[in-house]
Amino acid sequence: MLVPCTVFINRQQSGRIGKYDVTISRPGHGTPNVREFAGDVELSYLLLDFGYTQTEIEHILKELERKKASVEQARSIDEFTLNDNGF
């Protein structure tokens, strides 16, 4: 079952390596869950699990790098995938 979610990715510069906080907010749920990922590769795998295409992921990573800030997107994500990833 696909559930509507808001995916919020915040990039934090830590030395030469970027770190990412990923927040998933689901309607009807209380406080959104936040997970920290160390770098581009881990974030890419998570987004692949959430059904993003490789092209979308590359675009998101470029946006995060360019802005050095954050990206927010509405997305329907498989509920089982969310649960498997701890969201």
pLDDT tens per residue, range 3-57: 999 999 988 766 666 688 899 998 887 778 888 887 888 999 999 999 999 999 9
d(CA 2, CA 74) in angstroms, rounded, equals 12
Domain annotation covers residue 5: no
Contacts of 66 (CB under 8 A, 6+ apart): none
- The dihedral built from the CA positions of residue 49, 50, 52 and 56, taken in this order, carries a sign that is negative
Domain annotation covers residue 11: no
pLDDT of residue 13: 67
Contacts of 83 (CB under 8 A, 6+ apart): none
Domain annotation covers residue 51: yes
Domains of the chain: total:
1
- Name the residue among 30, 72, 79 with its Cα closest to residue 50: 79
Q: Residue 61 is part of which domain span?
A: 38-69
d(CA 7, CA 22) in angstroms, rounded, equals 7
pLDDT of residue 27: 83
